[in-house]
Chains A and B, each alone.
Chain A
Amino acid sequence: MSYKVFDLQNGQKVNLLLKGKAYRVGVKGTEASYIENKWNGNIDKEIVDIPDHRSAARMAADFIVSRGIRVDAIGHRFVHGGDHFKRSLIIDNDILLKIKECLPLAPLHNPISYSIIQEAMSGFKDIPHYLVIDSAFHSTIEPKAYHYPLPVKVIERFKFRKFGFHGISYSYICDQMPKLINIASEKLNMIVCHLGTGGASVMAVKNGVSVDTSMGFSPNSGLIMSTRSGDIDPAILLYLAKNSGMGPAEIEAILNNKSGLQGISGFSSDITDIISHMNDEAVEERAKLAFEMYIHRLKSYIGSYIMILQGRLNALVFTDDVGVGNPLIREKVCEPLAWAGIKIDKVKNNEAKNDRATFLQSPLSKVDIVSVPTDEELMICLEGGNLLGGKQ
Chain B
Amino acid sequence: MILLLDSDKEGFNYCLRDSNKTVKQGTEQNINYLKGKLNTLNKTYEILTVGYLVQDCGRSVRQPVSELNSSLLENVEKDMRFGPSRDLPMKKVVNLGNMIFGNSRHLIFCGSAFYLNMPLSAIAYAIPSEDPQGVFMRSGRNGVIHEWASNKLTAIDGSKAGKCISIFLSERTDVVALKNGKPVTTTHGFSDLDGIMSQTGCGSIDTSIVLQMLSCGYSVELIYQVLSEESGFKSFLDKKLRLVDLITSKDENLILAKDILFYQIIKAIGSCCAILEGVDSIIFIGEDKEIMRDWAYVLLRQLEFLGLKMCNNNIDYQGLMTAADSPIQAHYFNFDKWSVLASLLKKAPFLKKHAALGKETNMF
Contacts and interface: CB of A to CB of B under 8 A. Distances in A.
Interface stretch (A166-174, A181-189, A296-304, A355-363): A296-304
Contacts of B305: 310-312
B214 interface: yes
A237 B215 CA distance: 12
Interface string B170-200: 0000000000000001000111111001000
Interface stretch (B91-99, B142-150, B204-212, B344-352): B204-212
B277 A255 contact: no
B358 interface: no
Given A221-B208, A233-B191, A234-B194, A239 B81 contact: yes
Interface in B77-91: 81-83, 85
A261 B124 CA distance: 12
Residue with the highest number of chain A CB atoms closer than 10 Å, among B83, B132, B190, B210: B210
A201 interface: no
Contacts of A150: 202, 205, 209, 226-227, 230-231, 235
A307 interface: yes
Contacts of A230: 126
Contacts of B128: 254, 258-259, 262-263, 266
A228 to B, nearest CB: 8
A144 interface: yes
Contacts of A254: 127-128
B312 interface: no
B111 interface: no
Interface in A313-345: 335-340
Contacts of B215: 104, 248-249
A88 B306 CA distance: 42
A282 interface: no
B363 interface: no
- Interface size band for B: 35 or more
Nearest to A310: B305
B272 A218 contact: no
Contacts, number: 234
A307 B269 contact: yes
A218 B277 CA distance: 30
Interface stretch (A6-14, A59-67, A286-294): A286-294
Contacts of A239: 81-82, 135-136
A296 B275 contact: yes
Contact of B213 (A158, A296, A302): A158
Interface string B266-299: 1111111111011100000000000000000000
Contacts of B233: 149
Given A238-B210, A248-B214, A289 B189 contact: no
B126 A337 contact: no
A154 interface: yes
Given A147-B256, A221-B207, A235 B226 contact: no
Interface of B: 81-83, 85, 119-122, 124-129, 132, 135-136, 138, 185, 189-194, 197, 202-216, 220, 223-224, 226-227, 230-233, 235-236, 238, 256-257, 259-260, 262-263, 266-275, 277-279, 302-303, 305-306
10 contacts: A217-B206, A231-B204, A233-B190, A238-B220, A238-B223, A259-B126, A293-B121, A299-B274, A300-B274, A302-B274
Lowest 8 CB-CB distances: which A-B pairs, in order?
Answer: A303-B274, A307-B270, A235-B191, A339-B278, A218-B208, A216-B206, A304-B267, A233-B194
